[in-house]
């Protein structure tokens, strides 16, 4: 594959991904309500809550949370990310998400996120290097 075709393929794939993401994400007016709903579910739980259970809780109380769109797994993950960026100490493991009050848990979660991002960055760099080899 020639470099120009490779780059065009990447742009086309990126447009497809953005289109799918747009279809799955809630409307902007719902997004603030979704973040509040996710935070509310986590605040009321004493144990980890799975993505599925968060969506189920929100679905069964959608009138309470003022949501009109279906809530997807991707939308929950996006809300979790934004809540973390806003300073909420949300931790996660295979059992689900929870709000932590433990310095050690929060530090461990930060380490996991850091090493995940570092690994993704390394993989991206390798792909850039591979792309350079295409004519």
Domain boundaries, the chain: 3-132
CB atoms within 10 A of CB 9: 11
Grade residue 15 by pLDDT with cuts at 50, 70 and 90: low
Q: Helix, strand, or coil here: 45? A: coil
Beta bridge partners of 99: 90
State both tokens at 64: 């309470």
pLDDT per residue as tens digits for the range 53-106:
999 998 888 777 777 777 889 999 999 999 999 999 999 999 999 999 999 999
Per-residue pLDDT band at 2 (split at 50, 70, 90): very low
For the chain, give the percent of residues with pLDDT over 90.
59
Could you tell me if 2 and 135 are in contact, meaning their C-beta atoms sit under 8 angstroms apart?
A: yes
Using the predicted structure, report yes or no on whether residue 122 has a pLDDT greater than 90: yes
pTM score, whole prediction: 0.71
If one looks up domain 3-132 in CATH, what number appears?
A: 1.10.10.10
pLDDT of residue 42: 96
Q: Indicate whether 3 pLDDT > 70.
A: no
- CA separation for the pair 129, 106 (Å, rounded): 35
Q: Directed axis angle between helix 51-60 and helix 73-85, to 10°?
A: 100
Cα–Cα dist 27/70, whole Å: 10
The pLDDT of residue 71 is 85
Backbone angles phi, psi at 92, to 5 degrees: -150, 150
CB atoms within 10 A of CB 7: 13
């Amino acid at each position: 594959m020639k470099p120009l075709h490779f780059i065009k393929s990447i742009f086309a794939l990126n447009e497809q991904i953005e289109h799918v993401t747009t279809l799955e994400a809630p409307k902007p007016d719902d997004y603030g309500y979704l973040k509040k709903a996710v935070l509310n579910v986590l605040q009321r739980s004493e144990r980890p809550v799975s993505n599925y259970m968060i969506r189920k809780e929100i679905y069964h109380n959608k009138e309470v949370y003022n949501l009109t769109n279906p809530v997807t797994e991707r939308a929950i993950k996006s809300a979790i990310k934004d809540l973390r960026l806003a300073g909420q100490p949300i931790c996660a493991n295979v059992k689900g998400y929870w709000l932590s009050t433990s310095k050690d848990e929060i530090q461990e979660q930060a380490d996991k996120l850091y090493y995940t991002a570092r690994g993704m960055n390394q993989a991206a760099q390798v792909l850039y290097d591979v792309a350079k080899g295409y004519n």
